[in-house]
Chain A
Amino acid sequence: MEVQQSLWEFMFQQSGKLWSQTITHIGLTCISLFMAVFIGLPLGIWIAGRKKAAWAVLGLAGIMQTIPSMALLGFMIPLLGIGPLPAITALFLYALLPVIRNTYTGISGVEPAVTESAKGMGMNKWQILMQVELPLAMPVILAGIRTATVINVGVATLAAYIAAGGLGEFIFGGIALNNTNMILAGAIPAALLSIGLDFLLSLLQKSGLRRMNKVMLVLPVLLLVLSSFYLVPYTGNQLLAGFTPEFMGREDGYLGLKSKYKLDIPTVVISDAVMYKAAFEKKLDIISGYSTDGRLKAYNLVTLKDDKNIFPPYYACPLVRTEILEKYPELETALNLLSGIIHDSVMTELNFKVDYLKLAPEKVAHDFLLSKGLYKKPLKGSKGTIRLGSKIFAEQYILVEMYKELIEGNTQLTVQTRTGLGGTKICFDALTNGEIDLYPEYTGTGLLVILKPDTKTMSRVSGSREKVYDFVRSEFSRQYKLQWLKPIGFNNAYALMMRKEQAQSLNITTITDLKQFSSNEH
């Protein structure tokens, strides 16, 4: 084993990326914050003293706030696509409520005797607003802006999922790759950023009532300067690639593409949940997909041939705790019923039904088992409970549903499902901590994400399906007391994908072709 890298070494090594991510992050936060203040402040002033309008505006902004951040980003994609625009819009909507509400509260909280005497002395509305109401409300307004800032720094990490960059690239990459250093390299700067911006604003807030006039000038300037940090990646006429955070950090992913194929194209980080659609809508040209993904079919994409074999085989198998298999030996028999049944095209078809035709994974799984004559009615036994986990994509949901029916139909065991457990690291940790008993895993992932063997072992095993399987099987059993059961049959390997018509018109069928094309463009 190679000596593990320290966090410091990692951050130093990746300092270029870290800087650009931090700057992007500051930019995303501050642009959206600036917009929120620009819109929210006047709105808050306007609704102060207008009861009905206040009710409507605060209600609407409140509803916006209750939408989970991931879902809000999701809503933005059909409207605004991917990239900085939807991310900034979502962050803006998030920051709006604290700004409006605190402006409203601050202005309404100014003592009526003070505004009345201002009026009584002959100040006009604008003078009262600028000289009395705003300065007196400013501490409360600043508190709202601070809240909005902290929220935005946090939510902006999610922007990495829709190709808007930021520190989320490291955080989600790290989670996907089981790389703690990478997670911390993103999380620590994000936390520091949040604390730092909050501190900066707290200085303004505590500068005392008498200096509030100056604060009113400093604040927008500060936000504008910080906003200008954000530079949108410029691609010109080149092809643009969108890769998942996981793919970006993997030797059998982006790093391999760079080292083995010498491929160097503009790249953004994006969540696989929106990646296929973005490719279909020509927001991206090349994506890192999975070879059995149903959306491949749905969006008319083609995979490029991996002619230098950098993507190792990813055969799906149930990964089960040894302890459970010893306790319930009949479980293995039930799980192995699926072995060898589902091949690549079958899995793609099943995924297509869920991803594109929007059928429920339960139904797709059930129909498939029926058609293969594997379905049996649940025995409703009470021998024990098996907890099934899955990662957060369709294929895993389908497999888990199939396993549920197979276990309940063939054994006296009952099943509990815990689906949508994020990436490999979350599933694997849940399994080793005994929070779940099994989940479907891929041999390649086990090899590269969990075991991380040295280069020598890698080159020895990676070319062949059997060698990878045997290696992970013996190592997992030895190191983690986990068992790889028989492969289900399909190989869900990484693949680069392009739109079919674009690939045809550019005459690209392999990754080497792609490399040739992009070098010529330079």
Chain B
Amino acid sequence: MIIAENISKKFRAVHAVNNVSFEVKEGNTLVLLGTSGCGKTTTLKMLNRLIEATSGTIYINEKNIFDQKPEFLRRTIGYVSQNNGLFPHYTVAENVAIVPKLLKWSKTEIIEKTVELLDQLKLPFAHFANKYPNELSGGQQQRVALARALISDPPVMLMDEPFGALDPVTRAQVRAEFTAMPLLKRKTIVLVTHDIQEAFELGDAVCLMDKGKIVQSGTAKELMFKPENEFVKSFFDQQRLFLELKSLTFDDVWNEFETADETTQTPLFLSSKSLWEGMEKLSNLNKNRLIVYQSATKSLKYFTLTAIQNAAASYKQGK
């Protein structure tokens, strides 16, 4: 768990971060979203003291981070920097072993852990261990960077635009793998991005930042449908329809759909999915109508393109 209270950073006369507070619950992912220069990266780096806060308090797992030596603090926090930051003169295995070596693990322990983790990340040890970063693709490099941050199994992870250097296709792919990783589901994560879609997909909560302040924080849905001011509203204007469909789940608008009796459809399409995913499903399977299942009520509903559009429209009006 991370609690940041009234943290500020002044570079000479400029307030890069101004009185920001937030809380990340254990196992949750907080996304700091905003345009470049809004202070999101500065905020992130204050959490592992790469940048020292000018004022404010930060607690990670109930410990004041300012009571610890910065090096020791950082060894307990996973950190993925922008552009992956792999050491070009270290092999994949050596890169992954950096933190364990700092923590003085035994050699066998390091190898065991590395083999396990690389296999999980689809980078088979036998094939990749002795390669150098420049021999890997962008996506593979990013996964090594992730492995490097995860190897010591830190409870907290900080990620600074972790997918920023990847092309859109690889980006979507790595991101999908990322969300699917069981190892990451338990982690408390703070992630910085300027990509709204990424923020909505990965964040349990999103903090929208501007000029060093948090303008609004909440779930993607809250940001979309209950914007606190004009800035928040206009921030999402460009892809509004897409983002709305992405942030609404079938659960949110369950009553808008017609009941279905039974289904032969496998696998079941779950109501926790977003409306956007429903549309994708219809289009991918080339169907007019599909059935969605809500496990809480054990009920089934029909959905079509028109039904989804109507549901979204009435949610907007009804809010």
Contacts and interface: CB of A to CB of B under 8 A. Distances in A.
Interface in A112-165: 113-114, 116-124, 127, 132, 135-136
A112 to B, nearest CB: 9
A51 interface: no
Interface string B143-155: 0010011000000
Interface residues of A, number: 19
A359 interface: no
Given A132-B87, A210-B89, A122 B81 contact: no
Interface stretch (B69-77, B121-129, B217-225): B69-77
Contacts of B91: 210
A120 B89 contact: no
Interface in B70-114: 71-75, 79-91, 98-99, 102
A122 B89 contact: no
B89 A136 contact: yes
Contacts of B88: 114, 136, 209
Interface in A94-120: 111, 113-114, 116-120
B48 interface: yes
Nearest to A138: B89
B74 to A, nearest CB: 4
Contacts of B83: 111, 113
A429 to B, nearest CB: 54
A120 B86 contact: no
Interface centre among B71, B75, B91, B132 (most CB of A within 10 A): B71
B50 interface: yes
B89 A209 contact: yes
Interface string B26-55: 000000000000000000000010100000
Contacts, number: 65
A117 B71 contact: no
B87 A120 contact: no
Nearest to A127: B102
B198 to A, nearest CB: 19
A121 B148 contact: yes
Contacts of A268: none
Given A122-B72, A135-B89, A210-B89, A116 B50 contact: yes
Interface in A268-310: none
Contacts of A114: 85-88
A343 B78 CA distance: 91
Contact of B50 (A119, A124, A127, A135): A119
Nearest to B145: A117
Given A122-B75, A122-B99, A122-B102, A116 B89 contact: no
A210 B91 CA distance: 8
Given A132-B87, A209-B88, A210-B89, A120 B82 contact: no
Contacts of B50: 116, 119-120
B89 A121 contact: no
Given A120-B48, A121-B74, A113 B99 contact: no
A120 B81 contact: yes
Contacts of A132: 87
B89 A113 contact: no
Interface in A68-113: 111, 113
Given A132-B87, A209-B88, A121 B82 contact: no
Contact of B82 (A113, A122, A124, A212): A113
Nearest to A208: B89
A118 B72 contact: no
Contacts of A209: 88-89
A121 B101 CA distance: 11
Contacts of B48: 120
Contact of A120 (B72, B79, B90, B132): B79
A120 B159 CA distance: 11
A113 B79 CA distance: 12
Contacts of B82: 113
Given A111-B83, A113-B82, A121-B149, 10 more contacts: A116-B81, A117-B84, A120-B81, A121-B102, A122-B72, A122-B75, A122-B99, A135-B89, A136-B87, A212-B89
7 closest cross-chain pairs (CB), A and B: A117-B85, A122-B75, A120-B79, A122-B74, A209-B89, A117-B81, A113-B85
18 contacts: A113-B84, A114-B86, A116-B81, A117-B79, A117-B86, A118-B87, A118-B98, A120-B81, A121-B74, A121-B75, A121-B79, A122-B71, A122-B74, A132-B87, A136-B89, A210-B91, A210-B132, A212-B89
